[in-house]
Amino acid sequence: MVVSIVMGSSSDWPTMKKAKDILVKFGVEVRTEVVSAHRTPIKMVEYAQCAKDKGIDVIIAGAGGAAHLPGMIASMTHVPVIGVPIQSKSLSGLDSLYSIVQMPGGVPVATMAIGEAGATNAGLFAAKILSLSNPELYEKLSVYTKELEQKVEDMQDDLK
């Protein structure tokens, strides 16, 4: 089980680290790399076209601004791609969200929320994809869900 986390810039790392953290919690191997659709397009093409051969099962791609990285990668591989819009200063990440979510029919990118919540959910979604063929991971996700439920119950008890 290998998930690759790519981002357009190293400045995206504080957000994308949330995806890595959740995957590591579940024991999933994570590879990280900076791959820019605009500044290193040849590297991006090679990365996308060789992803399956390198043993990558799911790709999480974070991008800000024009946010072409997730869609461009998805157009060149059959490995599932999950897009994370990075929160930007100029438009608070809405530009990134629109760029990632508005893919043309035939080139799917699973798109998460803007920012850290989206990165966390991208890690969880990747784990869920992998859990379909890994019963141990599926069980870890079940335990995680029960822990979330318990946290809500504990919050309710605190209100009394």
How far is it, in rounded angstroms, from Cα 73 to Cα 81? 8
How far is it, in rounded angstroms, from Cα 89 to Cα 108? 27
Is 10 annotated to bind a ligand? Reply is: no
Is 95 annotated to bind a ligand? Reply is: no
Is 9 annotated to bind a ligand? Reply is: yes
Q: What residues have CB less than 8 Å from 59, skipping those under 6 apart? A: 3, 4, 5, 6, 51, 73, 77, 79, 80, 81, 82
Binding-site residues for substrate, please?
Answer: 9, 12, 39
Binding-site residues, please?
Answer: 9, 12, 39
